[in-house]
Amino acid sequence: MAATSGTPTGSPAPGSDPVLIDVEQPPGPASERSPNTVLLAVGLAYLVAVAVFMTYDIQGSLSFALELRAKKLLAMTLVGTGLATAAVLFHTMTGNRILTPVLIGLDSLYILIQSVSVAFFGALTFVSFDERIRFAVAVAIMVAFVLVLDAIFLRRAVTDLPLLVLGGIVLGGMFTSLAALVIRLIDPNEFLILEDLLFASFTLVNEELLVISGVVIAVGLALVARVRRTLDVIALGRPTAISLGADYDRVNRRLIVLIAVLVAVPTALVGPVTFLGLLASNATYELTRSFRHHVTVPISSLAAATLLIAAQFVLEELLDFATRPSIIVGFVGGIVFIVLVLREVR
């Protein structure tokens, strides 16, 4: 309904803008790698990362170390899978590969939720709440936010990218400035606890939540697998998809819910890891030159997990826990993104 009124007569449809980087870009003639080769290579990289991460420099109790590291690995794999899949789906929905669900302000919203909770309940009280409840509330608020946003203007924004991007930047800015006010009011000792919640950390993850998140993300992946062919058609853009018989608007409306869940669950589990999905999915497009979901979803999920493991490893072994993995990912991810755009747009 709203989607049909989204393209104003007179101005060209956003999808036809030649400078936008479309997912459906024709494969470059130079690099014709088979997707299977790439999948094998990325899978191998993941296994190597897992092996090194599990076995490197174990001191003390072997079983304790292995259990701890396995939990971290599972968390990183889940987070990587969720965020990378959400990014790929978002690209499919918007027909643009440089966007990320983070742009609609979800990370900032998470930071706001955590800051307000700590300010309202007090850090110690808040941290002593049942972790499952904190997790469920954060996920619910984030998903509800996306649904409200969708109802207000996202549906039109999908066909109107500038609106989507700017709306997201502005919403993110609003959440950040509210969070900054709350953070200013918090007692410095309490802030130290909040600080732990604001940056993704894999060191202490609740086992039960890990299982719950695993189930949710697995269900999401199963859904994606079931409709992967429809998604391939959706990625061709609205006019083509409709002429090929896909119910473009209905699928997109469901897709946004799935994307919201796939971003909200990892974020509520460990904290925001901005740019991870964007980075992994774009690396995948570069390597495979494919936009078919049975190729891009598994490869970018594995790539994201591998990146996280590598960042965590560098952090633990080389930087001696000097910072947070999300800061490393943000730094590297931003640079890689800029390089990608520089190469693509020219």
Partner 1 sequence: MTPAVATGERRRGSRILGSAAALAVVLFVVSIFIGASSASLADVIRDEGAARTIFVESRLPRSIAIVLAGASIAVAGAIMQALTQNRFVAPSTAGTTEAAILGVALVTVVSPASAVGYKMVVATVFALGGTLLFVWLIQRVRSRDIIVVPLIGIMLGAVMQSIAWFIALRFSFLQSLYAWLIGDFSGTIAGRYELLYVVGAAGVIAYVFADRFTLAGVGRDFSVNVGLNYDRTIVGGMVLVSIVAGITVVVVGTIPFWGLIVPNLASLLVGDNQRRLLPIVAAVGAAGLLAGDILARTIRYPAEVPVGTIIGVLGGLTFLYLLIRSRS
- The residues that touch partner 1, with contacts defined as CB under 8 A, are 5, 8, 17, 19-21, 96, 98, 153, 156, 160-163, 165-167, 169-171, 173-174, 176-178, 180-181, 183-184, 186, 188, 191, 195, 199, 274-275, 322-324, 327, 330-331, 334-335, 337-338, 341-342, 345-346
Residues 23, 238: Cα–Cα separation, whole Å: 13
Report the nearest approach of partner 1 to the CB of residue 101 (Å). Answer: 14
Report the nearest approach of partner 1 to the CB of residue 32 (Å). Answer: 26
Residues 186, 194: Cα–Cα separation, whole Å: 9
Report the nearest approach of partner 1 to the CB of residue 324 (Å). Answer: 7
- Closer of 218 and 345 to partner 1 (Cβ): 345
- Closer of 81 and 108 to partner 1 (Cβ): 108
Report the nearest approach of partner 1 to the CB of residue 184 (Å). Answer: 4
Report the nearest approach of partner 1 to the CB of residue 157 (Å). Answer: 9
Report the nearest approach of partner 1 to the CB of residue 244 (Å). Answer: 27
- Closer of 41 and 163 to partner 1 (Cβ): 163
- Closer of 70 and 181 to partner 1 (Cβ): 181
- Closer of 111 and 268 to partner 1 (Cβ): 111
Nearest to 99 by CA among 164, 55, 153: 164
Report the nearest approach of partner 1 to the CB of residue 16 (Å). Answer: 13
Asked if residue 253 lies in contact with residue 309, where contact means CB atoms within 8 angstroms, the answer is: no
Within 10 angstroms of residue 66's Cβ, the number of other Cβ atoms is 13
- Closer of 178 and 242 to partner 1 (Cβ): 178
- Closer of 172 and 214 to partner 1 (Cβ): 172
Report the nearest approach of partner 1 to the CB of residue 98 (Å). Answer: 6
Q: Which long-range contacts (CB under 8 A, 24 or more apart) does 322-326 make?
A: 324/199, 324/200, 324/201, 325/200, 325/201, 325/202, 325/273, 326/199, 326/200, 326/271, 326/272, 326/273, 326/274
- Closer of 102 and 209 to partner 1 (Cβ): 102
Nearest to 68 by CA among 202, 193, 211: 202
